[in-house]
């Protein structure tokens, strides 16, 4: 590991003159373009220090025993030859984690942590309901002939100003990109985007923070535009997100709301044809 003497872009951004900010934007854009267009991999997977492919990390944390389940050999942890193989692992990982926790009892050491995590994510589903929903989604995915063909490119997975080191002196230049724990090769639509250079200064008053927030958001949009927008694949995006617990919970809330509305509309005691007075 090498020590790098510099500042994070996040820490210095708000104090940079406009010319230096634009210089930093141009450097970030060039790095992101290079990652998307000048890297190519045969597999989806993580990147080990020696540069070879290794099991995918993909920002999936190891809390509540998830990392333990990875070692049980119940599903493919990568690398993956196709997007479908990767998506299958997304479904399998959530399914097997909940199955081992709720049904098999092999993760009792993590149960308190797990239930706390679930209580923060699930407001409209019980654990058993969430598990059954995950099982059904997994079965549905396995039954459909889904796949897509995209180049596999380099992705950092946590790319923002806090992980970019820049030189102390002007003109500032990017020295390094830090924290590659979630780095690897991934399908192009899932490459890094929405780069946040910094965040508003919490020591400033509300008006100043709002102004800073607007400027930072505009910078994010500028970087997105200059780098180029990623291929849009709504199906892929939805499939990747569909196993996230907050997504499951939102779906349950929406479904129950629709059910209530449908029930009210079907109630014969409620006259839906209420006459409306109209002027002649």
**Per-residue model confidence as pLDDT tens digits over 141-161:** 999 877 788 999 999 989 999
pLDDT score at 277:
44
What integer pLDDT is reported at residue 123 of this predicted model?
92
Q: What is the pLDDT of residues 30-63, one digit of tens each?
A: 999 999 999 999 999 887 655 555 666 566 667 7
Its pTM surpasses 0.85: no
**SS3 annotation, the chain:** CCCCCCEEHHHHHHHCCHHHHHHHHHHHHHHHHHHHHCCCECCEEEECCCCCEECCCCCCCCHHHHHHHHCCCCCCCCCECCHHHHHHHHHHHHHHHHHHHHHHCCCHHHHHHHHHHHHHHCCCCCHHHHHHHHHHHHHHHHHCCCCCCCCEEEECCCCCHHHEEECCCCCCCEEEECCCCCCEEEEHHHCCCCCCCCCCCCCCCHHHHHHHHHHHHHHHHHHHHHHCCCCCCHHHHHHHHCCCHHHHHHHHHHHHHHHHHHHHHHCCCCCCCCCCCCCC
Note whether 167 and 131 are within 8 A (CB): no
pLDDT at 270 exceeding the cut of 70: no
Over 90: is that where the pLDDT of 220 sits? yes
Q: What percent of the chain has pLDDT over 90?
A: 62
Q: What domains can be seen in the chain, in order of their start residue? A: 7-38+150-227 (1.10.510), 46-148+234-252 (no CATH)
* 84, pLDDT greater than 80: yes
Mean pLDDT of 76-82: 89
What are the pLDDT digits (tens) for 175-200? 999 988 888 899 999 999 999 999 99
pLDDT for the residue 275: 41
Indicate the pLDDT class of residue 110, thresholds 50, 70 and 90.
Answer: very high
To which residue do tokens 């919490």 refer?
202
């Amino acid at each position: 590991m090498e020590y790098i003497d510099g500042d994070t872009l996040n820490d210095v951004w708000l104090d940079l003159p406009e010319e230096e900010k634009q210089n930093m934007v141009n450097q970030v854009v060039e790095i992101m373009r290079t990652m998307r267009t000048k890297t190519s991999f045969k597999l989806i997977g993580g990147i080990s220090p020696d540069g070879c492919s290794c099991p995918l990390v993909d920002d999936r944390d190891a809390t509540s025993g998830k990392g333990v389940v990875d070692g049980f050999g119940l599903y493919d942890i990568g690398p993956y030859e196709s997007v479908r193989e990767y998506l299958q692992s997304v479904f399998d990982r959530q399914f097997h984690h909940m199955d081992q926790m709720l049904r098999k009892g092999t993760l009792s050491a993590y149960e308190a942590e797990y239930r706390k995590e679930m209580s923060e994510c699930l407001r409209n589903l019980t654990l058993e309901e969430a598990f059954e929903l995950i099982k059904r989604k997994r079965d549905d995915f396995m039954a459909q002939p889904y796949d897509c063909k995209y180049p596999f490119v380099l992705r950092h997975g946590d790319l923002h100003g806090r992980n970019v080191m820049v030189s102390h002196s002007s003109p500032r230049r990017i020295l390094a990109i830090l924290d590659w724990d979630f780095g690897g090769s991934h399908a192009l639509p899932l490459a890094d985007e929405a780069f946040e250079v910094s965040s508003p200064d919490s020591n400033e008053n509300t008006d100043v923070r709002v102004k800073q927030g607007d400027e930072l958001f505009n910078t994010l949009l500028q970087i997105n535009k200059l780098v180029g927008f990623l291929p849009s694949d709504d199906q892929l995006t939805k499939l990747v997100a569909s196993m996230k617990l907050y997504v499951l919970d939102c779906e349950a809330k929406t479904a129950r709301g629709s059910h209530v509305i449908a029930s009210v509309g079907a109630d014969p005691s409620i006259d839906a044809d209420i006459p409306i007075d109209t002027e002649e």
